[in-house]
Amino acid sequence: MRTMPLQKRNITNSRLVLGCMGFGGGWDNSPFSSEEVLKAEKAVEAALSSGITMFDHADIYTRGKAEKVFGEVLKNNRSLREQMVIQSKCAIRFEDDAGPGRYDFSKEHIINSVDGILARLNIEQLDILLLHRPDPLMEPEVVAETFELLKKEGKVQHFGVSNMNKAQVALLQTYTNESIIVNQLEMSLRKLNWVDQGVLVNQHEGTSAHFTDGFLEYSMEKDIQIQAWSPLGKGVFTGREEEIKTEAERNTAALVARMAEELETTREAIVLGWLMRHPAMIQPVIGTTNPDRIVACQDAVPVSEKMTREQWYNLYVTSRGRRLP
């Protein structure tokens, strides 16, 4: 059985991550309520009871309230921190008086962001810091210097990126002695396509996956943990029929439901298990605050271990809407 890159580094063996983007209420500057803290506590409890011990944040989520609410959860139960691996992301800046929405890999912004993250989460050290989407103005030597300073000061233990391609990751790694251990990308049965040569690409418009030739192979070679955000594809195969846009999606939703019934599991476990079956040991980040849906995902691990080649390809070919060449 293969081992996750993060497990090889003795960081975590949690095959799933709970994404905390939905914590804290609305994406505005209104204060969070005690109800939002209670909702977060229930989500965290459901995650831990399902074997999910890794939690994903970003400084922009609900404009900082997601981290603040999570910090309240930790403050209310100090023993939780020891059970968790916590990562957060920075570098996306909203439009303001200084400029438009933008990305910022400057030393000053990264350091200030980490200080804010730690304060909001009520923790002294972040387990993993990810750079949130590529910055075209990235100066890799500046980022490297910043990483090394944050590590020296004990503010961050490990580093990673999100939505970067192979060339961007390789360039950054050339300049820093700190290993890039995570790359977080949009991946799901709805979004992905393995073409003839085995290269993973995004079959839809946009830049959500950032894949180039050999990316999965490069990540496996370098022991970079690939994390999949939006791994359930907005629930199109797990009950949200209003999201279905094509005949292929309709057929795939029916196949997922049939497989879940045959395997006596949930549709969420089938969709996540398909991703996790890949030998790159992809780690899905499930973005829900609903305890029932969190629990519905826990079977993904055994499903991924039991899924046959034929079952995997049946899902793959059906989602493509056409046979393999």
Contact 28, 63 (CB under 8 A): yes
HSE-up of residue 178 (Cα within 13 Å, Cβ side) = 23
* Structure-token match 């969709």, residue found: 271
Distance CA 218, CA 257 (A): 34
CA dist 13 and 297 (Å) reads: 16
With 0-12 / 13-18 / 19 or more C-beta atoms within 10 angstroms meaning exposed / middle / buried, residue 18 is: buried
Is 175 assigned a catalytic role? Answer: no
Helix 107-121 vs helix 65-76: crossing angle, to nearest 10: 40
Please say whether the beta carbons of 289 and 62 come within 8 A: no
Residues assigned a catalytic role: 61
